[in-house]
Every structure is written in C-alpha cells, then in structure tokens.
Amino acid sequence: MAVKDYIRQRFFPHMWCAGCGHGIILNALLRAVDNLGLNKKNIVMVSGIGCSARISGYVDFHSMHTIHGRALAYATGVKMSKPELNVIVPMGDGDALAIGGNHFIHAARRNIEMTAIVMNNRIYGMTGGQFSPLSGYGSMGTTAPYGNIDHNFDVVDLSVAAGATFVARTTTYHVHELSDLIEQAIVHKGFSVLEVLSQCPTHFGRRNKVGDAVDMLKVYKKRTVRIGSEKKQTDPDLIERGVFVKKDLPEYCREYDQLILKARQNR
C-alpha cells in the first residue's frame, strides 16, 4: 500500500511546526507498518498529550488520544483485554518520562508487548518551550531562563534498568535506520522502547541557539555514532545509536494466559 493509505487525510494538514522532526517519525512509522504488512484494524495507537501525541489522530488505525502521561496505562488496558492487537504508544519526552515516568518504568517491568516510541525533542513544545526531564543540564527553556540545573534521564539506561526487553535509539536524520528500528520494535515480543531524537527548531533550537531544522539534523549526523563505534572512545560525548538490548523474556499477556490455566485447574 502507499503511505497515504495509512493516514486520515481528513485530519490534515497536521499541526506540527515547519521543520519539526515528528513528521519524519510518522513517515518512518507508516513505512515500517507497510513493510511488516500489518492490517490496519489490528493496530491500536495510544498517545498522551503534547505535540507528539497528535500523531495518533493522523494514522488510520484505532486511535486513542488520552491524557497527559498516561498513554501506557490506557495501552495496558487495551493490550491486556485484546492481546492479539499491535499496540504502538508514541510519547513526548515530558509525556513519557516526567508526568508518565511511573507508568513507563512499570510497563517496562511487566514486559507487556507494546512499542513505546519516545519522540525526544528535549522540550515541552505545545506549551511553548519549557525544559523537560530530557532537556539536559545547561539547556535553556522558558522555565530555565538562567540555564537548566536539572540533569536529564538517559532513556536507554532507564529503560534497561526498568526491564524493557528491547531498547534502541536513533534520530530523525537516520530515516532508514529509524524505520528499520520501528519494525524491530513492533515485531519484538515484549516491551520495546525506541528513543528517537527529534528536532524542535521552534522552541529548543531557537532558545538554545542551535540553528534551524537543517542545522539540528546535521548535529544528529555529526554527534551520534553506531553502537561500538571507535569514535566513541576518543569522543565520549557522542551519542550511540542502535539496538542496546534485545532479549527474550516471558511476555505479560502470555504469562497471564498461563495464570488463567492455573486458576482454572485450581477451581
């Protein structure tokens, strides 16, 4: 199918700013779904609140645009009650790891099969440029006018520690890699986390004087390397891309099926 067959044209034009990275993620996601040959009626996209969350309206899947931070909690109810559905949960950095941080680590701990995509633009865009838990020390935001003194989470480290069984990272510059990693994350039988560095030229770019969208994409090109690259040894500040964790552990819905069998035997 063509990519346009996966979108709701009625909903366009989208509301993202010119130069925003989120459209690239939408594009890569639809290509991944197409490559996998998934049936649209078997996909549920659940999102929270923020710029990133609007992605669920644009796709022609079952879609749920919920409340701030709780997308994974709604998604858990959807997946548990109908495990045959593919559940994709795109979230912003604040959505996933500030207000939604608790749900994030608990969904990872349960290893429930769903695909969490952290669309990390390091800022609260929709409310106009406040710092997020992924902005990083020293960054500027409307609520950090003298420079941010909050340290950031590392999404990969956090996800691994919380028990996610598939953890990967890439950027909106590396579009083929992005699409490929989304595919891998969807196929993975367990909780998968994909962090995507996504540029916000309007708020992060402007306030931190890192240039326009193209400049920001160039940074992703220059300042990221594949996992295991030798460059990282000489330049430790480089950000690694690729699959950090991929392991086969019992998935929550399948565990619950076993529990049902046990409960029925004990009756």
Binding site for another protein (CB under 8 A): 8, 10-11, 40-42, 44, 46, 56-57, 60-67, 70, 72-82, 84-85, 102-103, 106, 256, 259-260, 262-264, 267
Output 56 or 135, the one with its CB closest to another protein: 56
Q: What are phi and psi of 179, to 5 degrees?
A: -65, -40
Q: How far is the CB of 71 from another protein (least distance, A)?
A: 9
Q: Which two tokens stand for residue 76?
A: 């858990």
Q: Which residues pair with 258 in a beta bridge?
A: none
Output 45 or 118, the one with its CB closest to another protein: 45
Q: How far is the CB of 20 from another protein (least distance, A)?
A: 18
Q: How far is the CB of 142 from another protein (least distance, A)?
A: 24
Q: What are phi and psi of 87, to 5 degrees?
A: -110, 120
Q: How far is the CB of 38 from another protein (least distance, A)?
A: 13
The bridge status of strand 43-47 relative to strand 191-197 is unpaired
CA nearest to 56, candidates 17, 92, 107: 92
Output 159 or 170, the one with its CB closest to another protein: 159
Q: How far apart are alpha carbons 134 and 92 in whole angstroms?
A: 10
Output 20 or 43, the one with its CB closest to another protein: 43
Output 53 or 168, the one with its CB closest to another protein: 53
Contact 112, 189 (CB under 8 A): no
Q: How far apart are alpha carbons 263 and 55 in whole angstroms?
A: 40
Output 67 or 210, the one with its CB closest to another protein: 67
Q: How far apart are alpha carbons 50 and 47 in whole angstroms?
A: 9
Q: How far is the CB of 132 from another protein (least distance, A)?
A: 20
Output 79 or 174, the one with its CB closest to another protein: 79
Q: How far is the CB of 86 from another protein (least distance, A)?
A: 10
Long-range contacts of 177-180, Cβ-Cβ distance < 8 Å, separation of 24 or more? 177/241, 177/242, 178/24, 178/25, 178/28, 179/28, 179/29, 179/31, 179/32, 179/35, 180/32
Q: How far is the CB of 131 from another protein (least distance, A)?
A: 23
Q: How far apart are alpha carbons 202 and 260 in whole angstroms?
A: 51
